[in-house]
A and B are shown apart, each in its own frame.
Chain A
Amino acid sequence: MPILEIKNAELSIDNKKILKRLSLNVNEGETHAIMGPNGSGKSTLSYMLAGRDGYELDNGSITFDNIDLTQLSPDERSNLGLFLAFQYPVELPGVSSTNFLREIFNSRKKHLGEIELSHLDFIKHLRKVAENLSIKDEMLKRYVNFGFSGGEKKRFEILQMALLNPKISVLDETDSGLDVDALKIVSEGVNNLKNKNNAVVVITHYQRLLDYIKPDIVHIMSDGKIIKSGDADLALYVEKNGYSEILNEKN
């Protein structure tokens, strides 16, 4: 069953074409990896999916569970079950992490027509989820992403993913800035959430993440399009030979 279908997506920013007839299908239960040189448009793709202002399609279509995404606001897309772990998570000064998490958690519950958790029950739930990601209480008392280290920010993104339990998650360079231990913890966190009804798309430069999060399909992105797709071995190939050969082969 397809969750996400992107067909011939074209997008430009300041009259510069960034995405060029990009297509991608993601089915339930799948893990995809997108690799590609800096500036090839990976983050742009993730913003486009999440519905960021200014990242509207010029041409093409995106559907999520057969619903046309292009007309929906970021929160509506989120509520359908689309999650984006930001490459650069945003600081919210003055907003306590715990309260923010409770807010998004209960807002999601409410959207699903489920019962919201009381403050106390939420705290219990949060502790458990945070513990699995080795996130300390102390961090949750701080303001959202404010003064977090690179690694803390990435873990906090996965914590939100775990709380929202999305249908499809796009992780934009979640591995960058993580040391080996943290990488392991985060990967395990993602793997634990994985099941046959949801899907994960990881954007990364490095094979080392893919040692932990095993992709079913690997895509190589360059200059706004996917130029090659293959199985997990493609990532190993890139790791060994770099992108240049694939790029050349294409030209």
Chain B
Amino acid sequence: MVATTETINQVKTTTDKYKYGFSTEIEVDKAPKGLNEDIIRFISKKKDEPKWMLDWRLEAFKKWKRMEKPNWAKVSFPDIDFQDIYYYAAPKSKKKLNSLDEVDPELLKTYEKLGIPLNEQKMLAGVAVDAVFDSVSVATTFREKLSEVGVIFCPISEAIKNHPDLVKKYIGSVVPVTDNYYTALNSAVFTDGSFVYIPKGVKCPMELSTYFRINEKNTGQFERTLIVVEDEGYVSYLEGCTAPQRDENQLHAAVVELVAMNKSQIKYSTVQNWYPGDEQGKGGIYNFVTKRGKCLGENSKISWTQVETGSSITWKYPSCILMGDNSIGEFYSVAITNNAQQADTGTKMIHIGKNTKSTIISKGISAGKSQNTYRGQVQIQKSAKNARNFTQCDSLLIGDTCSAHTVPYINQHVSNAKVEHEATTSKISEDQLFYCMQRGLDAEQATSIIVNGFCKEVMKELPMEFAVEAQKLIGISLEGSVG
């Protein structure tokens, strides 16, 4: 599908370039700035957590203090002062919310502006939403319907209390606390996120969706998501992100863990449009995220699909550990950078089981003065007889001041494995632009159409309702990049 005329309207009517750049005036409850053991105790207490969770956090904090920030990514930014961040902020609410009617109307208005399907009509569309506002989930719809089939879909803070065995068993099992600097930090201070559990043989009857949003000034958002799918289960999970426009930078360091058992399937889709900063590169989100899935069972499958248009800096490598024999890992990515944005993104496919297969399709689009790097690792371990990987990495440049880089790492320890890598870099073609414009489309419409075509292979992996939004975003993100 190409960008609709609606897209173009939207671009035209967006006087303020970042459509989601409003912030909400509501009372918040927050911990003092800075990071120390007391703050962690405060968070844990606010969440009414059991002791094992607090201990786990404190342990992570200890380790984090001894760790160094990674500096291998092709991004640059001033040092982050971790003592200058609020680690806990929650909308003030007196009691537990039982229905949407009890949610702060201001908050609902915000969601409305974001276009989140929280209301009745939208519920008919079949999307269950666990909306995370700063640190606390304020509304969860559809939970009942899901629980009928045994699906658990709730804020992780609730899962810690209500399903401690499951959480204890799997948290940190895919992404170890000390995996990297930001995972250790997240493990110490995570405040919310989603938990999904699909029991044996259950195909989740609807797409599950969470919208994350950073609202409070100077708040780091550290969400933690854990999805476990038992044998022959299936789930499609959608994650969308926006953040208000602010002059200062904000940190987002999330951890997402997926576990897939025998013959199960997890499809995880993200549309990320955090505030990218202004044209000069002032402000914007630092998006340092660790996402990893483990195909623990045989014949299991994990697919990551991402459309990354926002954030001033993106540092993100959704990965798959293919342990079960015949398991499959997929990574489909569109990363768009414009103006001063920097993105260093890609994936890791770790082949351990026999006959494991992975596919990587990455489409990078750079405009303005932006930097866009694909960094991918394909590792075929000794046990992974007959493993297969196919990687295709295409970069599209718009203008002369941006750049694209491809950094593939391939470690192959098995002789009969097959690893294929294809990479192309092209400039948006003047022929194509002229052809479209001759038909009456303006430079932005034309670019949007060509770019959407370039991303086709990835876009078709997105669930329908997301695909439309993603197309619009592509149009919006490239605004001002041509003509």
Contact = CB atoms under 8 A, between A and B. Distances in A.
Given A89-B435, A93-B454, 19 more contacts: A74-B434, A74-B438, A75-B441, A78-B440, A84-B438, A86-B435, A86-B438, A92-B435, A92-B450, A93-B456, A94-B453, A94-B454, A100-B2, A100-B449, A103-B441, A104-B436, A106-B5, A110-B5, A164-B440
A83 B453 CA distance: 23
Nearest to A79: B440
B457 interface: yes
Contacts of A100: 2, 449
A99 interface: yes
B439 A164 contact: yes
A73 interface: yes
B455 interface: yes
Contacts of A89: 435
A90 interface: yes
Contacts of B440: 75, 78-79, 104, 107-108, 111, 164
Given A89-B435, A92-B432, A104 B441 contact: yes
A79 B435 CA distance: 14
Contact of A94 (B431, B445, B457): B457
A147 B381 CA distance: 40
Sort A-B residue pairs by CB-CB distance and give the 5 closest, nearest first: A94-B453, A94-B456, A95-B453, A74-B437, A90-B435
Interface string A137-174: 00000010000000000000000100010000000000
B452 interface: yes
A48 interface: no
B1 interface: yes
Contact of B2 (A99, A108, A160, A164): A99
A125 interface: no
A89 B4 CA distance: 23
A19 interface: no
A116 interface: yes
Contacts of A106: 5
A90 B439 contact: no
Nearest to B446: A75
B55 to A, nearest CB: 51
B439 A78 contact: yes
A96 interface: yes
A43 to B, nearest CB: 13
Contact of A95 (B4, B430, B437, B450): B450
Contact of B442 (A53, A75, A92, A93): A75
B151 interface: no
Nearest to A82: B438
Contact of A92 (B8, B443, B453, B457): B453
A226 interface: no
B2 A96 contact: yes
Interface string B73-90: 000000000000000000
A90 B429 CA distance: 10
A110 B455 CA distance: 27
Contacts of B430: 53
A99 B437 contact: no
Interface string B417-435: 0000000000001111011
A128 interface: no
A220 interface: no
Contacts of B435: 86, 89-90, 92
A35 B441 CA distance: 30
A143 B2 contact: no
Contacts of B429: 90
A228 interface: no
A143 B454 CA distance: 11
A52 interface: yes
A53 B434 contact: yes
Contacts of B5: 103, 106-107, 110, 116
A190 interface: no
Contact of B1 (A52, A99, A111): A99
A50 interface: yes
B129 interface: no
B3 interface: yes
Contacts of A91: 432
A100 B452 CA distance: 11
A108 to B, nearest CB: 5
B13 to A, nearest CB: 14
Nearest to B440: A78
B478 to A, nearest CB: 15
A76 to B, nearest CB: 9
Nearest to B456: A94
A3 B434 CA distance: 23
A143 B437 CA distance: 17
Contacts of A93: 453-454, 456
A79 B3 CA distance: 19
A110 B440 CA distance: 11
B432 A73 contact: no
A239 B438 CA distance: 32
A235 B48 CA distance: 91
A89 B431 CA distance: 9
